[in-house]
Structure 1
């Protein structure tokens, strides 16, 4: 069986678009790709507890169970626990072909105002954002600029954060804001165990500088479901 071609959407540049664009709702879940050996993440790691793929079903899906945290717990737990969220077929949303539950109409020659208006309506329904599709050209639109990229280094904190994580470094600069005390403790333990560098971090920022570095970056969360090569 041939592995499916994975389409990773590019980020919207804030400009108007030309042509007819299908609008789909963006879930804040985990991408699941069916391969001969089972369901795999974009990081090519096994996903657990998903219903088996059946002939005729999409092989490129978004798994969404309540929220991202529950979804990651459900797909990464090898041995089910009493509080592990369960995954049923209704929690799998096809991306190619698109699940009808995610289809949200069409925009023709949309202006930036048109796109932002649709985004606001999607956010009001608790969706992460929207994806605009024209053939194989997919564009993701979120309410603020986010970037997923690997951690390249780290530093211990100072003052009240001594003995905890101070900041991490990335290809776009250092990130020290947004971490809770619990985040700093857990990630410092990962750093000391030699497991922090290479993990993918999601960061929001005001904008990028002309040199492509973060301006006022803030940590959002870790993204264990993403590959370094699949970040954007």
Structure 2
């Protein structure tokens, strides 16, 4: 029978009109069909008729440790052990570990005296004394040399490959072949769940543990006291300027309590959320012949396009229909659509819809400082989009925006050619949707996990359409970006240095057609000055 080499994928025809993608990543075989996605087993224990048809039923049943026809379960287990590790056991019950989970900061609570640390953009991992366990209870197959020296007591931390390497980190830790790629990963420990003591004592315990224990691939995470709000914002800007994700704040004297807690808060300049891939939209211009944008759907049925944040390799082989992806965005529009969404990664460690989708709530923007622009002071307004529509986003994925430099000035020029400073820097990849992509937003019943890929409920109420385009200019002395978004009669320009959040201006035209004409003029001006569309 045919098989897939490590890293290979193949698209197959389903029983109807749908097509599904089969993959092998580090000896973990997956399929995008609903039957594979909806199983409650660990991901390395799942199979489906498409994988059986490709690899052979006997080979698949042996891989997942199930008895083949005419074979006892005992002999099947023996065959599995003899297969060179292909059916290496994961957490048999796939029971989720008792993790302490964070809430987003509400931008109002005084965090003076709280313990502050960098929010690591890696993979959450619970060391149970013998193995690394994911949030869903699946095992990460780290090599013995990686786990050497770790204690036989629980540790809570992050498998981290460095800043801006989230996708690479995921691809390594979900492998089952215990490869040398793990040399790129560190286990950064930020808590000791089994120690019933205040947070300060648990941190001191970790410092002493790794000072005396030989675990070369693990270390305790650094924490410092937050003095006040300016200190918090300064540290956030520093971390994000380095490519970090944000900050975590721990309440002094707090205990480790499984579940979502108000003693652990996350602070970021951009929001994160998860969405379901519904379809692929063809690219144009430099992206002709490959992915232009993903059409994605939120748990509440809201649909929009994500067109930036992809590498050339990801555009050539995009996330399949039915995949769960994380995206980053600046804020919600008045119609409830994420603005300036940017692709982050495929997620294999969460279910759809997210398991805590009921914990949705609005997170208001913080008070903004006065920004100097063009020689005059412009007061940045709190995000007007922090309304009830923001309840549609998963709270685990949503994080507080901390210095949104959004200004509304109907009389000011929307040129924005000058480079602008921003008090909260972030990765320049967190940008906009693809060029000219205009996707109608619909409010529908949430798609269930069992909905075939590429299908959805019909919209009940058409909402506002929006499109966003991004341009960049780089020469020997300057590196700038410029973005424009049209939504109904409004058009918004965002601009600044590459690597910063920049600032934005919004103007309102007499009609949507007029807004698009004005946007086209501004685009012509920018391209005439040497800006290149991305």
TM-score by length of 2: 0.36
Q: Contact (CA 8 Å) 2:129, 2:152: kept in 1 or not?
A: no
Between the aligned partners of 2:111 and 2:181, the Cα distance in structure 1 is: 45
- 2:167 is aligned with 1:51: no
Between the aligned partners of 1:40 and 1:95, the Cα distance in structure 2 is: 15
Between the aligned partners of 1:148 and 1:69, the Cα distance in structure 2 is: 16
Q: Measured at CA, do residues 10 and 175 of structure 1 come closer, stay the same or move farther in structure 2, by a change above 3 Å?
A: farther
Structure-2 residue corresponding to 1:122: 239
The structural deviation recorded for 1:125 is 5.5
The structural deviation recorded for 1:133 is 1.1
The structural deviation recorded for 1:31 is 0.7
- Bigger radius of gyration among the two: 2
SS in 1 for 2:132: strand
- 2:270 is aligned with 1:177: no
User: Of 263, 270, 280, which residue of structure 2 is paired with 1:155?
Assistant: 280
- 2:192 is aligned with 1:75: no
Structure-2 residue corresponding to 1:23: 116
SS in 1 for 2:147: coil
Residues 127-146 of structure 1 aligned to structure 2 (within 5 Å): 127-134=244-251, 135=254, 136=261, 137-142=263-268, 144-146=269-271
The structural deviation recorded for 1:147 is 1.3
Q: Measured at CA, do residues 168 and 27 of structure 1 come closer, stay the same or move farther in structure 2, by a change above 3 Å?
A: same
Q: Measured at CA, do residues 71 and 78 of structure 1 come closer, stay the same or move farther in structure 2, by a change above 3 Å?
A: same
Q: Contact (CA 8 Å) 1:175, 1:219: kept in 2 or not?
A: no
Between the aligned partners of 2:340 and 2:161, the Cα distance in structure 1 is: 32
- Higher RCO, Cα 8 Å, sep 6+: 1
Question: What CA RMSD, in Å, does the superposition of the two structures yield over aligned residues?
Answer: 3.3
TM-score by length of 1: 0.74
The structural deviation recorded for 1:116 is 0.9
What are the ranges of 5 or more consecutive residues in structure 2 without an aligned counterpart? 1-94, 193-202, 208-219, 255-260, 357-395, 398-534
Q: Measured at CA, do residues 166 and 118 of structure 1 come closer, stay the same or move farther in structure 2, by a change above 3 Å?
A: closer
Higher mean alpha-carbon deviation, 113-122 vs 208-217, is at: 208-217
Q: Contact (CA 8 Å) 1:154, 1:165: kept in 2 or not?
A: no
Count matched residues. 217
Higher mean alpha-carbon deviation, 162-171 vs 130-139, is at: 162-171
Q: Measured at CA, do residues 206 and 4 of structure 1 come closer, stay the same or move farther in structure 2, by a change above 3 Å?
A: closer
